[in-house]
């Protein structure tokens, strides 16, 4: 039986321009993970098999952290233009979440205007940090001001943390653990810097059900964290369900933000089609959700984000 229709808010693409950058800089095993072979035809085929009626694609880790600063703005522009071309050719199936040349704020602001006015992108996909400048850093406030003016859709995605201890879990794939921690680090920094309240028009989507942040709210809200209004801030965010959120993260998010703030995500091309279908089946069958809940997660909430209804 074909899976239930759904919108995928978390998947990735590798434009030719990005593959060329990886090759130029000798990046073969970023984050201790292989570089996947992505193709548009395979992505569309997998979407059909998984009954994904629309997907949002973004560049993923390592983003542009390895690119020389003088080449960075043009490198990002080439990828965004290629992505916009893909979206234009498949506008009923694919939306692009453009990259920004962070931490270069001036170039990032120029890219926001270009992407919104000329490329007509759906939004922006940002890393948790850009060469150690984490989201929430006051140096990036001018970028958030412009994103807020547009009421932009902004998705986050983790990358390797800017620093971690030597000889600790060194052979493990970094996404296995560090991605979840880096997501939590960035989200907490954004809460601490009051990003969600100062820039209320940005529609933020947190990756992988918020990483470990979504399961730490009790601790983060106690003691010195009481003034942070963790749960109040979380209710201003959306969370995608890419990864393995059932049952722990899903239960926590349902308790705090409710089903209205949850969207579906697959994380193509990293999971195989079989794994992606299994991921969908787990959410299809969890007793934590009603059929009406699933309709909201799979379709309705994403429509509100993408088409700003």
pLDDT in tens, 67-120: 999 999 999 999 999 999 999 999 999 999 999 999 999 999 999 999 999 999
Tell me what the pLDDT averaged over the chain comes to: 96
Question: H or E element: which one contains 177?
Answer: none
pLDDT cut 70: percent of the chain above it: 99
In the prediction, which pLDDT does 163 show?
87
Residue 170 is part of which domain span?
6-307
Domain of 84: which CATH number? Answer: 3.20.20.140
**Does any domain span residue 42?**
yes
What the block records as the tokens of 227 is 């003034």
In the prediction, which pLDDT does 225 show?
85
Question: What backbone torsions phi and psi does residue 79 show, to the nearest 5 degrees?
Answer: -65, -45
**Does any domain span residue 116?**
yes
pLDDT cut 90: percent of the chain above it: 94
In the chain, how many domains are there?
Answer: 1
Residue 309 predicted with pLDDT over 60: no
309 or 304, which is more confident? 304
Nearest Cα to Cα of residue 131 among 108, 113, 97: 108
Residue 45 predicted with pLDDT over 70: yes
**Does any domain span residue 1?**
no
Whole-angstrom distance, CA of residue 261 vs CA of residue 9: 13
Question: What backbone torsions phi and psi does residue 114 show, to the nearest 5 degrees?
Answer: -65, -45
């Amino acid at each position: 039986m074909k899976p239930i229709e759904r919108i995928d808010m978390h998947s990735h693409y590798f434009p030719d321009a990005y593959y060329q950058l990886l090759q130029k800089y000798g990046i073969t095993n970023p984050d201790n993970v292989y570089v996947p072979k992505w193709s548009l035809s395979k992505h569309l085929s997998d979407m059909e098999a998984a009954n994904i009626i629309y997907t949002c694609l973004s560049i993923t880790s390592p983003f542009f952290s390895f690119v020389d600063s003088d080449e960075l703005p043009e490198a990002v522009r080439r990828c965004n233009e290629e992505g916009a071309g893909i979206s234009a050719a498949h506008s009923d199936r694919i939306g692009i979440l453009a990259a920004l040349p962070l931490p270069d704020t001036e170039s990032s602001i120029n890219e926001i205007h270009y992407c919104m006015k000329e490329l007509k992108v759906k939004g922006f996909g940002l890393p948790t940090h850009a060469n150690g400048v984490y989201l929430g850093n006051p140096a990036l406030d001018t970028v958030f001001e412009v994103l807020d003016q547009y009421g932009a859709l902004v998705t986050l995605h983790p990358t390797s943390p800017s620093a971690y201890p030597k000889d600790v879990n060194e052979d493990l794939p970094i996404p296995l653990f560090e991605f979840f921690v880096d997501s939590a680090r960035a989200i907490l920094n954004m809460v601490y810097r009051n990003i969600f309240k100062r820039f209320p028009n940005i529609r933020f989507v947190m990756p992988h059900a918020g990483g470990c942040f979504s399961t730490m709210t009790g601790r983060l809200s106690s003691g010195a964290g009481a003034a942070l209004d963790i749960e109040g801030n979380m209710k201003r965010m959306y969370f995608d369900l890419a990864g393995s959120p059932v049952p722990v993260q899903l239960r926590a998010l349902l308790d705090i933000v409710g089903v209205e703030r949850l969207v579906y995500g697959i994380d193509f091309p990293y999971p195989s089609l079989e794994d992606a279908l299994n991921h969908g089946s787990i959410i299809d069958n969890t007793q934590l959700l009603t059929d009406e809940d699933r309709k909201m997660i799979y379709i309705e909430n994403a429509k509100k984000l993408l088409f700003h209804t």
